[in-house]
Structure 1
Amino acid sequence: MNVYTYSSNTQLNEAAAGLIAATLQQKPNAVLGLATGSTPIGVYEKLVEMYKEGKISFKGASSFNLDEYVGLPRDHSESYYSFMHHHLFQHIDLPEDKALIPQGNTNHPKEECTRYDQLIQEAGGIDLQILGIGHNGHIGFNEPADSLSGATHVVTLHEETRKANARFFNSIDEVPTHAITVGMAAIMKAKCILLLVRGADKADIIHKALNGPITTQCPASFLQLHPNLIVMTDSEAGRNL
């Protein structure tokens, strides 16, 4: 585990984007595992900037997003499909058929989970997985529970998670109750994991995840077992590390 704390968000964004760029330069057909939420937005903006400057290309790469809400149409403003296209995909040269996101608006979500796992396996697994961490220690939408699923699966979102995401909707009643999420097995099999953490409100949970007991009640704690984990935090989130 390598932990880096940065004094500014600009420095964090540059460092994280630099790692992703280096991965693409070393392996142009790299398989990227991508995350949504506010945490990686600045990193995506930096990647777009680097692409427009001709420093990197995504044309040989592919990507798999961690999750998608169940029941939201892809064109819904708060779907993760819309999020990724707004913040990254429409600005770079990643082929559209290589930018993969679970289909949350399917009538057969369990079959979609199986299909998505097969696609990840056929791609050779994830080279670099980008993660954030929830206030309750979830990664992707792998929520605290008595047991965790290794495979991509449909999850019932904890009320705490729905409340945290309600700021993106008109009210919490509009926040979906379920999501499709990549399971712990695919995440832990990634060749490299980049965990991004920002803000004072994440200081306690990231300390618990990286230094506390490994438990299903804090899914992020399993990252302690990964052989190539890189953690990048701002000074507020990393104050207890």
Structure 2
Amino acid sequence: MEVIICDTQEAVADRVANYIKYLINKKENATLGLATGSTPIKLYKKLIELYNNNEVTFKKTTTFNLDEYYNIDGDNIQSYRYFMNKYLFNKIDIDKSKAHFPICLEGENPNLIGDLYEKKIINAGGIDLQILGLGSNGHIGFNEPSSSFMSKTRIKTLTQKTIDDNSRLFNKNEYQPNMAMTMGISTILNAKYIILIATGENKSDAVNRLISGAISSKNPASILQNHKNVIVILDEDASSKVNNIDYYLNAAKENKKLQEQFGYFHELK
């Protein structure tokens, strides 16, 4: 696991955007796994800037979003498809028919929807780079504590902590789902590369558990310690409780030299 600590949230977004640019320019038909929430918004602004500056094109890119609320269709302003259209897809040249979400409406079988999503990912050649956020309770996607490390795309009941954290995004008396479809932990681990982004002091405890805590289903993000190509990119606030921080700062400098010399994403063809 490589840990990179940036001065600001803007610097985090810039660093991740440049990784994505490098990937797509290396493999124009790359498949990206994308995340929603407040953390990636700055990243998506950076990607739009790169696109507007003709530094990257998304014409041949395929995307799979991590999750979607249960029983909310793509036109609903609370849906993650609506979010992605608003903050990224409407402002770049992506083919939206190649932008996928695990949408499951009432009356549809979540098991079948999950299986279909898995098949779509496989048919796309797998995910080259998965972008993750980090929940304050250690969840990745909507894989809440106690989620199986072998899980695939499925429906999950959200913890009260997650519902409370997300309630700021809903108006008073507005319907807020307590279930969601999400890529499973096994699905996430099948990505060739993973970049996890965390910013803000409120994520510092979860970040420390992710990097140096015990690997346990009580802390789903901890399983990323077992993935061979994970980069964790933090701002200073999110890194404030990381143990052995001097080592990570020095290692990031040395790794950057090697990456500039030999390139990134060596396993992609």
Please give the TM-score of this superposition, normalised by the length of structure 1. Answer: 0.97
Tell me which moved more, 166-175 or 199-208. Answer: 166-175
Tell me the distance in 2 between the aligned counterparts of 1:11 and 1:124: 31
Partner of 2:39: 39
Tell me the distance in 2 between the aligned counterparts of 1:19 and 1:66: 19
CA contact (8 A) 1:149 1:183 kept: yes
Tell me the distance in 2 between the aligned counterparts of 1:178 and 1:81: 16
Tell me which moved more, 95-104 or 227-236. Answer: 95-104
Counterparts of residues 111-150 of structure 1 (less than 5 Å) = 111-145=112-146, 147-150=148-151
Partner of 1:202: 203
Summarize deviations over 1:23-81 as a string: whole Å, max 9, x none.
10110000000000000100000001110110000111100000000011221111101
Q: Give the superposition deviation at 1:149.
A: 4.8
Q: Which has the larger radius of gyration?
A: 2
Counterparts of residues 39-78 of structure 1 (less than 5 Å) = 39-78=39-78
**3-state secondary structure, aligned to 2:107:** coil
Counterparts of residues 202-241 of structure 1 (less than 5 Å) = 202-241=203-242
Tell me the distance in 1 between the aligned counterparts of 2:139 and 2:239: 18
Q: Give the superposition deviation at 1:105.
A: 2.3
**What is the percentage of aligned positions where both structures have the same residue?**
41
Tell me the distance in 2 between the aligned counterparts of 1:221 and 1:160: 18
CA contact (8 A) 2:197 2:234 kept: yes
CA contact (8 A) 1:142 1:148 kept: no
Gaps spanning 5+ residues in structure 1: where?
A: none
Summarize deviations over 1:164-189 as a string: whole Å, max 9, x none.
00001114872201100001111001
- Equivalent AA in structure 2 for residue 46 of structure 1: K
Counterparts of residues 148-227 of structure 1 (less than 5 Å) = 148-171=149-172, 174-227=175-228
Q: 1:161 to 1:173 in 2, by over 3 A?
A: farther
- Does 2:8 correspond to 1:8? yes
- Does 2:86 correspond to 1:81? no
**3-state secondary structure, aligned to 1:151:** coil
Alignment root-mean-square deviation, CA: 1.3
How many matched pairs?
Answer: 241
CA contact (8 A) 1:127 1:191 kept: yes
Q: Give the superposition deviation at 1:146.
A: 6.3
Q: Give the superposition deviation at 1:84.
A: 0.4
Q: Give the superposition deviation at 1:150.
A: 1.9
Tell me which moved more, 10-19 or 139-148. Answer: 139-148
CA contact (8 A) 1:203 1:239 kept: yes
**3-state secondary structure, aligned to 1:193:** strand
CA contact (8 A) 1:203 1:237 kept: yes
